[in-house]
Structure 1
Amino acid sequence: MSSRMLKSHWRIEATIEEVADVLGDVERLPDWWGGVYLSVRVVEAGDDSGLGRKVAFHSRGRLPYTLRWQGTITEVNRPNSWTIRAEGDLQGQGVWTLRQDGPVADIRYDWTVVVGKPVLRLLAPILWPAFAANHRWAMARGEAGLRRELARRRAG
């Protein structure tokens, strides 16, 4: 199966710096991203900008399976954008793009992905609509969690 693009778009009252700080604090994703990230472990720190940072993820969605994958930051233009290369049960590339629109952070995530898990890869052509719905479910949890995390950090 060839890769497919999944797009997410959030608009949240925040600065892009605040959003980049929360999203960049990857080890805390399990604390606020709605049960999607089961565990996160930094494997390689990367440079001061985060370039080259490699993170091992164990994640789940709404469907009855979990995924183990690694993400490596391949491009950084903080706080405006960063690119992640995924390997493992998920393979592909994710691009976060943040733009300030007055008091609102306009956040886009473009995920070009193929399923790497062998049993799921076999079923992917048939199950793609379910995989896309699973992604939307996970990203909705992320948006809600980001709003809560920003409020928590502002409250001190």
Structure 2
Amino acid sequence: MIKYFFKTVWHFDAPPEKVWELIKDARSMPEWWPGVKRFEILSKERDLRPGCLIQASVKGLTGDLNFELEVSKAVPCHEIVMLSRGDLMGQGVWTLTPDNGKTISTYIWEVTTTGKLMNAIGSVCKPVFIWNHNRVMTAGFKALEKRL
């Protein structure tokens, strides 16, 4: 397995409450976030709260990455922690910090890959996979910023 550590910091000209409103509407992510193919809440509860299960799929360079997320912590307008299983194993922590009426958004994504192809070429292609992750995150930032 190849380990990855990503830290993405975004700055929004909106308070955390407005950013949270868009994040918590997880079902709509594939409609506005390029690269996100599926983000389906499997639990009866439609909100992102502890125990919520999400089936996710993102477009990768070697094919789709499919994984299940389980929300382990959710503090509205502040933080969401999700555990990942499947093609990506690990944890994501998304924190919203108020900053004079604006928001600093920090996403920490610590995962390992489980797919044979990703692991076989990962040591050589890791910089390209990191580049692709950053490209998808930049597209997400731009799309989220437009929605605000």
Q: How many residues align?
A: 148
Q: Is 1:120 matched up with 2:118?
A: yes
| Cα shift readout 1:135-155 (whole Å, capped 9, x = no counterpart) | 1001001100101111xxxxx
Alignment map for 1:1-156 (pairs within 5 Å): 1-33=1-33, 35-45=34-44, 50-61=49-60, 63-150=61-148
| Cα shift readout 1:24-54 (whole Å, capped 9, x = no counterpart) | 1110001111x21112221124597611111
| Structure 1 outlier segments of 4+, above 3 Å | 45-49
SS of equivalent to 1:76: strand
Q: Distance in 2 between matches of 1:23 and 1:116?
A: 27
Residues 25, 49 of structure 1: CA spacing in aligned structure 2 closer, same or farther, 3 A cutoff? closer
Contact 2:24-2:47 at 8 Å conserved across structures: no
SS of equivalent to 2:31: helix
Q: Which moved more, 1:131-140 or 1:121-130?
A: 121-130
- Taking only the aligned residue pairs, the percentage that are identical comes to 25
Q: Distance in 1 between matches of 2:109 and 2:14?
A: 23
Aligned letter for 1:131?
Answer: F
Contact 1:46-1:54 at 8 Å conserved across structures: no
Contact 1:45-1:52 at 8 Å conserved across structures: no
TM score, norm. by length of structure 1 = 0.87
Gaps of 5+ in 2: none
Q: Once superposed, what is the RMSD of the aligned Cα atoms?
A: 1.7
Aligned letter for 2:102?
Answer: V
